[in-house]
Amino acid sequence: MSAVTALGNTHPALQWAWHPVARLSDLGDEPLGVELLGQPWVVYQVPDAPPGEVRVWRDRCPHRLAPLSLGTLEPAGLRCGYHGWCFDRAGQAVDVPALGPGATIPSRVQLQPPARVAVSHGMVWVAPQAPLTPLPHFPENLDGLDVIDLPVFETRAGAGLLADNFLDIAHFPFVHAGTFGADESREVQPFEVERDGWGFRVSYTHSFANREDPGVAAGLRPLVQQRRMTYLYRAPFALMLRLDFLDSGGVNIIGFFLQPVDAQRCRIYSTLWRNDVGGDPDRAKLVADFEVAVIEEDLRIQSSYRDLALPLDRTAELHTRADRSTLELRRILADLVEATGATE
């Protein structure tokens, strides 16, 4: 275990990893200002380009450091809203109105990009420095499943603690008593963690209260059913959970992607892929409302932590065999800190 004691939202080691900063669907006709690891960035879909061709720059004009996110998009590029300087898709200044037509513009007038930008799972990802971890990719076959994007949550929370909570099985009967928690599943049976580089996989079957199943109300199936949970984790804060409902035959895949905004805040992007919605908008709303209620149950505790940093020193907390996945999370994040050599 690393000598580093804790990982907060703005720990420098996180600069060398991939983070989500926006959904593609968030990008409209205006530049979008976002914050990542305490730093401001501007994100936009390139005008007159195919969907998914995006640009990300530090959110400041090199002229007077005004936020570029207050500017406008036009065919020529991104125009600053303060003095009208325009920057093309390569970040080079191509128009300085105050100098008049045909003026010579120094080549060093260039916007500052992150090390890497990519689009995956319907989101824009940014690595501020050359990433040591791969772009999160999950091998689940999502073809033919209904896609439901939950509302984006922005909350006071630690990204590491939120990832820890998502992977934690033992809290279900207590935190989620109002949604899917069942007293029958209080004891966590032994399970294995299969590490794979900067991530891992966990499979676990347990009893739960399937309040979403229409067959329960119809008397076809009992409330307490069995489901198999398969967790996939990719460093630092990208997670996916596949739920196979063994009694009803349903499949529910939950993507959980975390953006550390600053020392105190995180944004949660969560997407559902399901085989039991059938394109029914009323059913989709019920499903989304249920998952929102689950997240709100978690945030009641997560947003109340006084210290938002995730402990990496294993002696700082008590661990049991039920904590194998969350202990592996700490090991991987400690490895990231060691690999970067970054310190607070």
Residue 267 corresponds to which tokens in the numbers above?
A: 């944004």
How far CA 225 is from CA of 247, 250, 253, in Å, comes to: 6, 12, 18
- Give me the pLDDT at residue 5, please: 87
Cα–Cα distance measured from residue 150 to residue 141, given in angstroms and rounded to the nearest whole number: 20
- Specify whether the CB–CB gap between 32 and 42 falls below 8 A: yes
- Specify whether the CB–CB gap between 257 and 149 falls below 8 A: no
Cα–Cα distance measured from residue 150 to residue 162, given in angstroms and rounded to the nearest whole number: 16
Residue ranges of the chain with per-residue pLDDT less than 50: 1-2
- What letter would DSSP give residue 24? G
Under DSSP, is residue 121 helix (H, G, I), strand (E, B) or coil? coil
Going through 103-223 in order, the beta strands assigned E by DSSP cover: 116-120, 123-127, 146-149, 153-156, 193-196, 199-209
- Give me the pLDDT at residue 192, please: 93
Handedness of CA 10, 127, 67, 73 (dihedral sign): negative
- Give me the pLDDT at residue 3, please: 64
- Number of alpha helices (DSSP H) and beta strands (DSSP E) in the chain: 5, 20
Query: Which residue matches tokens 């676990």?
Result: 204
Q: What is the pTM of this model?
A: 0.92
Select from 46, 71, 43 the least CA-distant residue to 57: 43
Half-sphere exposure of 180 (CA within 13 A, CB side): 23
Read off the pLDDT of residues 315-343 as tens digits, 9 standing for 90 and up.
999 999 999 999 999 999 999 999 999 88
Counting every residue written for the chain, the total comes to 344
72: left (phi over 0), alpha (psi -120 to 50) or beta: beta
H-assigned helices in the chain? 159-167, 172-175, 214-217, 281-302, 324-340
Under DSSP, is residue 333 helix (H, G, I), strand (E, B) or coil? helix
How far CA 6 is from CA of 168, 265, 275, 297, 335, in Å, comes to: 19, 17, 39, 25, 12
Residue 54 corresponds to which tokens in the numbers above?
A: 């995006």
**Domains along the sequence of the chain with CATH:** 19-127 (2.102.10.10), 146-340 (3.90.380.10)
Cα–Cα distance measured from residue 308 to residue 8, given in angstroms and rounded to the nearest whole number: 6
